[in-house]
């Protein structure tokens, strides 16, 4: 049986030896290979599948228009099921085995932050559009670009609005995951700048189903406003239980709250909740690029897209690929990774349609710090809060 | 003549929630002697063994082995002081080879620490080889030498008791407790057991405590016999004395036949 | 490379295999060849294949540890990722916040995992196997929650970057880490093999088969159960510290319940209670997800089916099955007198 | 404040109690820990969602059908994951339930897709305030339904022939078989009842949370409640459910909400060290 180990080990080495060592991998005469890894399975599958569909739709569009400088774009996607171990293996396979030219979209922060050292070592460009965590670009990396605003920018927009409405004693409930922790840091930081301190900070674990303990502590703290940094489903439950426990103060949410699911989960209790939103337009708005995308998504799923889609992750993914394509175009007919990075850094207020215009410079790779705001109207639907 | 007593059991009493299983049972056993304990079913024989091997804690009474009070010992320490036992319902370990089963009996005889054997130190491997030989000798004594490599699960039922016996004698213990070794054996197997016991007594001269129902075996191999009935020792003596003792016959065969035999 | 003395290296006994199982006569030469080949991987293969092999070697160390407590001693551990996490985080924390270099940090990681193993073992001493499963299940969850919420120290869900290990000043390259892992893996197998052939291993199996018999043969049950837990936990700690160095980043998502179950699946699929079982199980179930990567939607479904299939259809796992086929298929060859055992 | 905590823990406590009871009856009958209990709850909730919201059946009808569906699935699980492993070592059966849980979860996710949906509550969830303590009709409905379920179960278990057979098998499988109890039938009945209890728990839980294929994680809470209360005592398991919910609230408010699960695990270890069979459990005497 140990002889069998011999065989399997031999097979592995044979597999590896075939890695081609071209000058700049992923670029051939007729196509450019792009790599992507994201959660296609597991609890955060909604994010991953939305981004994958959006990037593929955008690529079909670009290829239909003759590709970039005559080269078609080819996407290779791997699932990381939300696990960092899988993400590491997937990205190494993309860089090493499939020899992709550059990476796009990425996964949730939990499975993206561990990849940063790998990206820096491989010197491979990466246009991110899921992870909103500040630490992706702090410390700065010249290979990583972010297509939409990070959690700090999202928090600033909502807090400015709350301060204008006279909030003096805010409290926050947040998940113990990368999104929640990042949100809490951003909210605390921004309030300190405005000389306002949080009266209660309640963290919960994703396996929790009941929030009465946290909400009762907030009720005791005498807070006059409640910030919720959790994904849409949990935000809905928290808001409903808050009303049940007798909290009547205004409630504000982070970017993760603003999806079609929140109003359904919160029910009547959700009306009036204000949340940060990463795109200029809602997925169901009549704004042309968003409406066009909606049609293409319907076509892709032959008539009925999965429930809750398109989501804002669709819009982010579509925008990210458009930015990617624009960068490639500007990198000229013989793109290298370095020329691609330089080209991306020349983008100034580039409008990809479904997301805010992005600007990159040699030292600033956060595409935008703009973020919109939405409020649940009386018809229990999100609507954009005009500036 | 001064007796070289190795084991003295002094009025041991044991009860489970009210009903008395043993009531002040007492006897002494000399070194190298084969002391049998007989009695009808439910007389408390196995319970006595369990008290001796510290599995049950007797309500009162004392047991002294090799002039050391047994109540200080935990069940796992008995092998260390040289007391090994077999079980009424044969506890041979499947998932191990026959040889490994016997080597388990040698567990307390190793002196190289487990850490060195885990690292594979030479002295540990040498000791392992030496112990392997001792286990093989024990198997040869009981006649199972050829089955050393077989898995214990594959050993036919008749030989299981011999394997348990080999496991006990491998470490040259001071005392062996045999709990009905002859149960379920054919008469040839009983003869073979008797021969094996003789070889063991000649080669290793251990003290043996024997519980058995096979009168042929008990009468032939025992030096002394104690008879238990309902937890009480009703008689003790040499095999001949016991076979004539009316109290014993009454306990076994009932009142009428006891009178007939006097 | 550790040279085995010439002579047979038979598997240790399998769980309750009714028919005769000839030990496989594998001489040291083929093992040596295998060792050399494994160490050649970093020089031949690209970084992706090397990372997959590294994961396989690390998983082998964990499954060998799980096999000692579960395969030999019968103590179910469905929270082993907790020990791996302790090894990984203690090593990373020490390398980040103290001046310790990677070797002493790894050692502390292993010892910390061992201590956790003893602490978790305590309730196990007096409880039935099912309660042990519950305790290890709770332990795995608790470790994950602590890592997730102790943000000031462990960086919470964002995890921590692992400083690059330095070996006398110059950085330890990926190849260096790979070779170290290979040595650690072979060392673990060597220790597991020795344990299986020594009184420790026999005592473990005795405890699994019948505590009363083991005790009457002089095995102190409570002590040996604790030793089994501690040893398997230390294997987990070693694997955890190597994972930290190998992947360069640790966060709680890498040590969740699903991963503990994967370790157990590897052992069951390979063959509990054998040396080669967990190795074969670990290799197959590390490579399989990589091969299945393109159609990933069904991975969780497939891994559940694989575990169920082995449990119901082949409870004794692949290795015992192949050994029994081998002895049936080649009776002449298998019967030739094997050289005197080691 | 304390009153509010106790009241708000009752609804969740009754759901934990139902799950814990499901664990306990399977354990008592067959010494098996069913790790798929949470997934059976999820199936119950999904079935009820499909029937009640999509097919617009009335709530009681949807509730009943969903319970029956879950019982059927439980019988199949018993047949596939438990029966063939009757004589295998304990952990093999335990692992097979884990595998089944994984198969069910990923199967439902593949079929059900990524959508997260909310379950329209059967009773109004408008808060009512009485003596400063706030609760909802939904909460009262959950507690009432649980009480009803427990009463039905008690009658079934104590009075009927099937209940007698289940208790006999729990005490001694061979003894029961000798006196004519068809042990395999008892096993599938036990798993069916456990499946039913899980479904009731799942459906009652649904309006409180969002229905996803991963909601089965609540099964772990029922598992801890059963350990706390005593795995082989049915009353203990039910009590364990309420105690766990109360502990979660108390620890969450007075100590820390993030570490409450870790603290509860610590209490669990202390309970197991002090009383290895849980608060109300009884020790099975091992005969030599």
State residue D287's pLDDT score: 47
Q: Give the 3-state secondary structure of residue B38.
A: strand
The answer as to whether A349 is a domain residue is no
Q: What percent of chain A has pLDDT over 70?
A: 94
Chain C, residues 62-121, CB within 8 A of chain A, namely none
Is C19's CB within 8 Å of B154's CB? Answer: yes
Mutual angle of helices D2-30 and A212-221, in 10-degree steps: 170
Beta bridge partners of A127: A104, A145
Cβ contact C280–A95 (<8 Å) = no
Give the chains touching B; criterion: ≥3 Cβ pairs < 8 Å.
Answer: C
The verdict on A184 and A124 lying in the same domain is no
Asked which of A13-27, A52-66, C3-17, D125-139 is least confident by mean pLDDT, the reply is C3-17
Residue B147 at interface with chain C, using a CB cutoff of 8 Å? no
> Is C12's pLDDT higher than 50?
no
Half-sphere exposure in the Cβ direction for A50 (13 Å, CA):
27
Phi/psi at D113 (5° precision): 80, -170
Query: Residue A15: inside a domain, yes or no?
Result: no
Mark yes or no for CB contact D209/A246 under 8 Å: no
Q: Report pLDDT for D114.
A: 61
Residue D57 pLDDT exceeds 50? yes
Listed by number, the residues of chain C in 49-68 with a beta carbon closer than 8 Å to a beta carbon of chain A are 49-53, 55
Same domain for A182 and A125: no
H or E element at residue D210: strand D210-211
Examine the domain organization and report whether A132 and A27 are in the same domain: yes
Measured distance CA(D41)–CA(B100) in Å, rounded: 48
In a domain, C96, yes or no: yes
Segment among A188-202, C44-58, C320-334 with least mean pLDDT: C320-334
| Chain A, chain C: beta-carbon pairs less than 8 Å apart | 165
Q: Closest approach of chain D CAs to the CA of A380, in angstroms? A: 14
pLDDT digits (tens, 9 = 90+) for A195-241: 888 998 998 887 777 888 888 888 888 899 999 998 888 888 899 88
Determine the topology of domain B90-172 in CATH. Answer: Rossmann fold (3.40.50)
As to burial, measured by CB atoms within 10 angstroms (0-12 exposed, 13-18 middle, 19+ buried), residue D162 is middle
pLDDT tens digit sequence for D3-49? 888 888 888 899 999 999 988 888 888 778 888 899 999 999 999 98
The pLDDT value given to residue C64: 95
Of residues A210, A244, A261, nearest to D12 (C-beta): A210
Are C62 and C285 in contact, with CB atoms under 8 Å apart?
A: no
> Which residues partner with D134 through β-bridges?
D129
- Give the DSSP letter of residue D49: H
CA dist., res. C88 & res. C106, Å (int): 8
Asked whether residue C34 is assigned to any structural domain, the reply reads no
Which of A121, A82, A126 has the alpha carbon at shortest distance from A104? A126
Say whether D115 and A202 touch across the interface (CB within 8 A): no
Specify whether A220 is located in the same domain as A325: no
- Report CB contact under 8 Å: C195, B118: yes
Query: Average pLDDT in the C57-75 region?
Result: 93
Task: Name residue, tokens 């059966």.
Answer: D93
Is position A9 within any domain? no
What stretches of chain A adopt beta strand conformation (E)?
31-38, 72-79, 102-105, 126-128, 144-146, 170-175, 200-204, 225-229, 251-253, 274-277, 372-376, 382-384
Q: Confirm if D119 and D53 have CB atoms less than 8 A apart.
A: yes
Q: Which of D252, D255, D259 to mutate to test the interface with A (most CBs of A within 10 A)?
A: D252
Using CA coordinates, name the residue in chain C closest to D258: C149
Closest by Cα among A355, A324, A319, A317 to A341: A324
- Residue C342: pLDDT over 50: no
User: Does residue C7 carry a pLDDT above 70?
Assistant: no
Decide if A143 is inside a domain. yes
CB contact under 8 A, C214 and B104: yes
**pLDDT (tens digit, 9 = 90+) per residue, D223-275?**
888 888 877 778 888 999 999 999 988 888 888 888 888 888 888 878 877 77
Q: Are residues A199 and A130 part of one domain? A: no
C27 pLDDT tier (thresholds 50, 70, 90): low
Give pLDDT, residue A22: 44
Separation between Cα atoms, residue A241 and residue A199, nearest integer Å: 20
Cis peptide, bond prior to residue A203, ω within 30 of zero: no
Between A386 and A161, name the one with better pLDDT. A161
Any CB–CB contact under 8 A between D261 and chain A? Answer: yes
Query: Would you tell me how many other CB atoms lie within 10 Å of the CB of residue A267?
Result: 18
Among A100-104, A297-301, B19-23, D176-180, the range of highest mean pLDDT = A100-104
SS3 content of chain A, % helix, strand, coil (to 5): 45, 15, 40
| pLDDT score of C282 | 93
| C315 vs D contacts (CB less than 8 Å) | 85, 88, 92
Sketch the domain layout of chain B as residue ranges.
1-82+174-262, 90-172
**Assigned domain for A30 exists:** yes
What percent of chain C is predicted at pLDDT more than 70? 86
Q: Considering the domain boundaries, does residue A189 fall inside one? A: yes
How far A152 CA lies from chain C's nearest CA (Å)? 16
- CA-CA-CA-CA torsion sign (A245, A251, A256, A257): positive
Longest CA–CA span in chain A (Å) reads 74
| Region of poorest pLDDT, from A231-245, B190-204, C129-143, D124-138 | D124-138
pLDDT tens column, C191-248: 999 999 889 999 999 998 888 889 889 999 889 999 999 999 999 999 999 999 988 8
Contact criterion met (CB below 8 Å) for A74 and A143: no
Q: In what order do the strands lie in the sheet with B224-229?
A: B83-85, B175-179, B207-211, B34-38, B224-229, B232-237
pLDDT given at position B188:
87
Task: Tabulate helix, strand, coil % of chain D (nearest 5).
Answer: 75, 5, 20
Domain ranges, residue A258: 152-277
* Contact (CB, 8 A) for C200 and B118: yes
CB < 8 Å to D103, chain C: 301, 304-305, 308
From D253's Cα to the closest Cα of chain A, the distance in A is: 5
A357 upstream amide cis, omega within 30 of 0: no
Which residues in chain A have their CB less than 8 angstroms from residue D261's CB?
205, 207
Complex ipTM value = 0.83
Q: Residue C5 has what pLDDT?
A: 38
Do residues A258 and A320 both lie within one domain?
no
A267 interaction partners in chain D (CB closer than 8 Å): 118, 125
CATH code: domain of residue C271: 1.10.3470
Show the tokens assigned to C101: 């270099």
Spatial CB neighbours of C99, under 8 Å, sequence gap ≥ 6: none
Number of inter-chain CB pairs under 8 A, B vs C:
111
Dihedral sign (CA C50, C56, C58, C61)? negative
Q: What is the pLDDT of residue A37?
A: 93
Q: What is the pTM of this model?
A: 0.85
A210: nearest CA in chain D? D12
Q: Do residue D259 and residue C305 have CB atoms under 8 angstroms apart?
A: no
User: Using CA atoms, how far apart are residues B128 and B110, in angstroms rounded to an integer?
Assistant: 8
Q: Which of D1, D136, D245 has its CB closest to that of A216?
A: D1
The β-bridge partners of C166 are C171
Residue-wise DSSP of D127-175: EEEETTEEEEHHHHHHHHHHHHHHHHHHHHHHHSHHHHHHHHHHH-HHH
Which residue reads 């196990």 in tokens? C124
pLDDT in tens, B45-72: 888 888 888 888 888 888 898 888 888 8
Q: Which chains touch C (3 or more CB pairs under 8 A)?
A: A, B, D
- Among C209, C217, C337, the residue to mutate for chain B (most B Cβ within 10 A): C217
Whether the CB-CB separation of B178 and B159 falls below 8 Å is answered with: no
Contact between D209 and A237 using a beta-carbon 8 Å cutoff: yes
From the list D81, D102, D259, the residue facing C300 with the nearest CB is D102
CA distance to partner chain D, nearest, from residue A27 (Å)? 35
Residue A7 lies in a domain: no
A299 shares its domain with A249: no
Beta bridge partners of A375: A274, A383
B14 DSSP β-pair partners: B22
Q: Do C301 and D102 touch (CB under 8 A)?
A: yes
CB B84 within 8 A of CB C168: no
> What CA–CA distance (Å, rounded) separates A276 from A150?
11
Q: Is residue C4 part of a domain?
A: no
Mean pLDDT of chain D: 83
Q: So what's the pLDDT on residue A245?
A: 82
- The answer to whether C68 and C83 are in contact (CB under 8 A) is no
Number of domains in chain C: 1
Q: Distance (Å, rounded) from C-alpha C215 to C-alpha C224? A: 11
Q: State chain C's mean pLDDT as an integer.
A: 82
- Convert the pLDDT of each residue in D135-185 to its tens digit: 788 888 888 888 998 888 888 877 888 778 887 877 777 888 888 888 888
For residue A169, how far is the Cα from the chain centroid? 30
Q: Which of C19, C200, C205 sits opposite B118 (nearest CB)?
A: C200
Quick: pLDDT tens for C81-128.
999 999 999 999 999 998 888 899 999 999 999 999 998 888 777 777
Q: Are residues A27 and A144 in the same domain?
A: yes
Compute the distance between CA of residue B176 and CA of residue B49 in angstroms, rounded to an integer. 11
Contacts of D among chains (3+ CB pairs under 8 A): A, C
A to B contact (≥3 Cβ pairs closer than 8 Å): no
Per-residue confidence (pLDDT) for residue C38, from 0 to 100: 84
**Do A187 and A296 fall into the same domain?**
no
Residues in chain A with CB shorter than 8 Å from the CB of C52 are 12, 89
Rounded mean pLDDT of chain B?
86
SS3 state of residue A252? strand
Using 50, 70 and 90 to split pLDDT, how confident is the model at A20?
A: very low
Burial per residue of D135-160, b for 16 or more beta-carbon CB atoms within 10 angstroms, e otherwise:
bbbbbebbbebbeebbeebeeebeee
Tell me which CATH code domain B1-82+174-262 carries.
3.40.50.300
* A171 and A83 both lie in a single domain: no
pLDDT at C59: 96
Residue A220 included in any domain: yes
Distance from CA of B213 to the nearest CA of C (A): 23
Three-class secondary structure assignment of chain C: CCCCCCCCCCCCCCCCCCCCCCCCCCCHHHHHHHHHHHHHHHHHCCHHHHHHHHHHHHHHHHHHHHHHHHHHCCCCCCCHHHHHHHHHHHHHHHHHHCCCCHHHHHHHHHHHHHHHHHHHHHHHHCCCHHHHHHHHHHHHHHHHHHHHHCHHHHCHHHCEECCCCEECCEECCHHHHHHHHHHHHHHHHHHHHHHHHCHHHHHHHHHHHCHHHHHHCCCCHHHHHHHHHHHHHHHHHHHHHHHHHHHCEECHHHHCHHHHHHHHHHHHHHCCCCCHHHHHHHHHHHHHHHHCHHHHHHHHHHHHHHHHHHHHHCCCCHHHHHHHHHHHHCHHHHHCCCCCCC
Q: Contact C122/D273, CB-based, under 8 Å?
A: yes
Among D30, D272, D282, D287, most C C-beta atoms within 10 A, so best to mutate, is: D272
Tell me if chain D has a CB within 8 Å of the CB of C149. yes
* Residues whose CB is less than 8 angstroms from the CB of residue A265 and which lie 6 or more positions away in sequence, other chains included: A232, A233, A235, A236, A237, A240, D116, D118, D210
A31 strand-pairing partners: A72
State residue C11's pLDDT score.
Answer: 39
Q: What is the CATH number of the domain that holds A133?
A: 3.40.50.2300
Q: Do A195 and A311 lie in a common domain?
A: no
Tokens at A270, concatenated: 């959700």
Residues of C with CB below 8 A from D110's CB? 297-298, 301
Express each pLDDT in B224-258 by its tens digit.
Answer: 998 888 888 888 888 888 888 887 777 776 665 55
Cβ distance A213 to D134 less than 8 Å, yes or no, reads: no
Cβ atoms of C317 and C311 within 8 Å: the answer is no
The residue among D20, D26, D102, D283 with the most chain C CBs within 10 A of its CB, best to mutate, is D102
Mean pLDDT, range A83-98, rounded to an integer:
87
Nearest CB to C194 within list B103, B119, B150: B119
- DSSP label at D283? P
* pLDDT for the residue numbered D60: 87
């Amino acid at each position: 049986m140990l002889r069998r180990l011999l065989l399997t080990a031999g097979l592995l080495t044979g597999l590896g030896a075939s890695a081609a060592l071209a000058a700049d991998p992923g670029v051939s005469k007729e196509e450019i290979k792009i790599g992507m890894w994201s959660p296609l399975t597991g609890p955060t599958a909604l994010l991953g599948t939305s981004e994958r569909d959006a990037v593929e739709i955008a690529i079909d569009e670009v290829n239909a228009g003759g590709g970039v400088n005559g080269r078609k774009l080819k996407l290779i996607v791997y699932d990381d099921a939300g696990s960092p171990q899988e993400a590491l293996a997937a990205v190494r396979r993309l860089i090493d085995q499939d020899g992709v030219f550059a990476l796009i979209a990425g996964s949730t922060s939990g499975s993206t932050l561990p990849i940063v050292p790998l990206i820096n070592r491989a010197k491979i460009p990466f246009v991110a559009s899921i992870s909103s965590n500040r630490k992706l670009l702090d410390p700065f990396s010249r290979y990583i670009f972010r297509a939409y605003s990070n959690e700090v920018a999202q928090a600033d927009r909502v807090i400015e609005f709350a301060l204008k409405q006279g909030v003096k004693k805010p409290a926050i409930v947040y998940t113990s995951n990368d999104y929640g922790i990042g949100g809490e840091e951003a909210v605390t930081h921004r309030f300190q700048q405005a000389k306002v301190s949080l009266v209660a900070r309640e963290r919960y674990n994703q396996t929790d189903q009941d929030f009465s303990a946290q909400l009762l502590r907030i009720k005791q703290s005498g807070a006059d406003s409640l910030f919720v940094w959790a994904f849409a489903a949990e935000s809905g439950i928290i808001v409903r239980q808050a009303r049940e426990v007798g909290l009547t103060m205004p409630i504000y949410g982070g970017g993760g709250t603003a999806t079609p699911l929140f109003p359904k989960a919160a029910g009547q209790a959700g009306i009036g909740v204000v949340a940060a939103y990463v795109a200029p337009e809602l997925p169901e708005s009549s704004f042309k690029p968003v409406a066009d995308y909606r049609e293409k998504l319907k076509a892709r799923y032959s008539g009925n897209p999965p429930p809750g889609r398109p989501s804002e992750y669709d819009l982010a993914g579509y925008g990210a690929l458009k930015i990617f394509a624009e960068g490639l175009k500007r990198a000229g007919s013989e793109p290298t990774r370095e020329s691609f990075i330089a080209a991306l850094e020349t983008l100034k207020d580039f409008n990809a349609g479904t997301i805010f215009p992005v600007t990159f410079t040699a030292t600033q790779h956060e595409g935008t710090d703009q973020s919109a705001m939405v409020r649940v109207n009386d018809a229990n639907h999100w609507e954009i809060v005009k500036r | 003549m001064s007796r070289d007593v190795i084991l003295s059991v002094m009025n041991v009493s044991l009860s489970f929630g009210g009903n008395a299983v043993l009531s002040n049972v007492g006897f002494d056993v000399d070194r190298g002697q084969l002391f049998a304990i007989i009695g009808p079913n439910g007389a408390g024989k196995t319970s006595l063994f369990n008290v001796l091997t510290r599995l049950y804690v007797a309500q009162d009474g004392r047991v002294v082995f090799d002039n050391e009070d047994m109540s200080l010992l935990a069940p796992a320490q008995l092998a260390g002081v040289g007391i090994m036992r077999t079980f009424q319902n044969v506890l041979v370990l499947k998932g191990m080879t026959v040889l490994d089963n016997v080597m388990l009996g040698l567990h307390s005889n190793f002196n190289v620490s487990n850490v060195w054997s885990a690292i594979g130190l030479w002295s540990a491997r040498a000791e392992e080889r030496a112990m392997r030989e001792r286990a093989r000798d024990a198997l040869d004594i009981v006649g199972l030498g050829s089955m050393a490599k077989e898995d214990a699960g594959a050993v036919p039922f008749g030989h299981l008791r011999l394997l348990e016996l080999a496991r006990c004698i491998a470490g040259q213990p001071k005392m062996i407790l045999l709990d009905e070794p002859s149960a379920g054996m054919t008469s040839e197997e009983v003869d073979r057991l008797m021969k094996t016991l003789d070889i063991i007594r000649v080669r290793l001269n251990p003290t043996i405590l024997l519980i058995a129902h096979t009168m042929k075996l008990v009468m032939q191999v025992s030096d002394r016999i104690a008879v238990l009935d309902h937890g009480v020792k009703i008689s003790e003596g040499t095999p001949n004395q016991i076979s004539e003792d009316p109290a014993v016959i009454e306990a076994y065969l009932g009142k009428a036949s006891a009178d007939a035999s006097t | 490379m550790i040279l085995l003395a010439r002579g047979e290296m038979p598997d240790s006994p399998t769980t309750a295999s009714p028919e005769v199982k000839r030990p496989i006569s594998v001489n040291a030469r083929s093992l040596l060849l295998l060792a050399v080949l494994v160490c050649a991987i970093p020089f031949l293969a690209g970084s992706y294949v090397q990372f997959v092999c590294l994961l396989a070697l690390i998983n082998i160390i964990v499954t060998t540890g799980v096999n000692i407590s579960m395969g030999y001693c019968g103590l179910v551990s469905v929270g082993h990722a907790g020990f791996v996490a302790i090894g990984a985080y203690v090593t990373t924390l020490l390398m980040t916040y103290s001046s310790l270099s990677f070797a002493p940090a790894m050692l502390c990681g292993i010892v910390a995992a061992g201590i956790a193993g003893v602490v978790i073992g305590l309730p196990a001493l007096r409880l039935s196997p099912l309660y042990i499963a519950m305790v290890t299940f709770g332990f795995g969850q608790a470790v994950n929650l602590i890592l997730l919420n102790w943000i000031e120290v462990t960086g919470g869900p964002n995890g921590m970057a692992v400083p690059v290990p330095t070996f006398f000043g110059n950085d330890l390259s990926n190849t260096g880490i790979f070779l170290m892992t290979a040595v650690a893996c072979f060392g673990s197998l060597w220790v597991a093999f020795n344990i299986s052939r020594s009184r420790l291993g026999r005592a473990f199996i005795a405890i699994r088969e019948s505590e009363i018999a083991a005790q009457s043969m002089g095995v102190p049950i409570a002590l040996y159960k604790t030793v089994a837990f501690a040893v398997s936990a230390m294997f987990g700690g070693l694997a955890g510290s190597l994972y930290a160095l190998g992947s360069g980043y640790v966060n709680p998502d890498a040590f969740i319940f699903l991963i503990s179950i994967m370790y157990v699946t590897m052992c069951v699929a390979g063959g509990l209670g054998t040396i080669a079982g967990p190795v074969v199980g670990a290799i197959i179930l590390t490579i399989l997800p990589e091969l299945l990567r393109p159609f990933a939607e069904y991975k969780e479904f497939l891994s559940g089916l694989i575990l169920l299939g082995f449990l119901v259809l082949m409870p004794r796992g692949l290795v015992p099955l192949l050994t029994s086929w081998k002895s049936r298929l080649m009776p002449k060859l298998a019967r030739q007198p094997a050289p005197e055992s080691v | 404040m304390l009153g509010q905590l106790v009241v708000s823990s009752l609804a969740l406590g009754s759901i934990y109690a139902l799950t814990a009871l499901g664990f306990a009856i399977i354990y008592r009958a067959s010494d098996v820990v069913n790790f798929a209990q949470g997934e059976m709850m999820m199936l119950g909730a999904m079935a009820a969602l499909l029937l009640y919201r999509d097919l617009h059946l009335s709530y009681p009808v949807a509730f009943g059908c969903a319970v029956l569906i879950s019982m059927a699935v439980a019988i199949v699980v018993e047949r596939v994951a438990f029966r063939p492993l009757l004589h295998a070592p304990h952990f093999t059966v335990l692992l097979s339930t884990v595998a089944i849980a994984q198969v069910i979860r990923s199967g439902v996710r593949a079929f059900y897709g990524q959508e997260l949906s909310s379950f329209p509550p059967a009773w109004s969830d408008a808060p009512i305030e009485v003596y400063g303590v706030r609760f909802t009709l939904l909460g009262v409905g959950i507690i009432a339904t649980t009480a009803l379920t427990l009463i039905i179960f008690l009658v079934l278990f104590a009075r009927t022939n099937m209940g007698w057979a289940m208790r006999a098998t729990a005490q001694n499988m061979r003894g029961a078989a000798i006196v004519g109890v068809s042990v395999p039938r008892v096993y599938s009945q036990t798993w069916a009842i456990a499946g039913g209890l899980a479904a009731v728990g799942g459906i009652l839980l649904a309006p409180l949370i969002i229905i996803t294929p991963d909601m089965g994680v609540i099964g772990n809470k029922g598992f801890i409640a059963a350990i706390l209360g005593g795995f082989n005592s049915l009353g203990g398991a039910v009590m364990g459910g309420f105690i766990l919910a109360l502990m979660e609230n108390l620890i969450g408010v007075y100590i820390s909400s993030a570490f409450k699960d870790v603290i509860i695990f610590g209490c669990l270890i202390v309970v197991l060290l002090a009383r290895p069979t849980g608060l109300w459990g009884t020790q099975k005497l091992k005969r030599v």
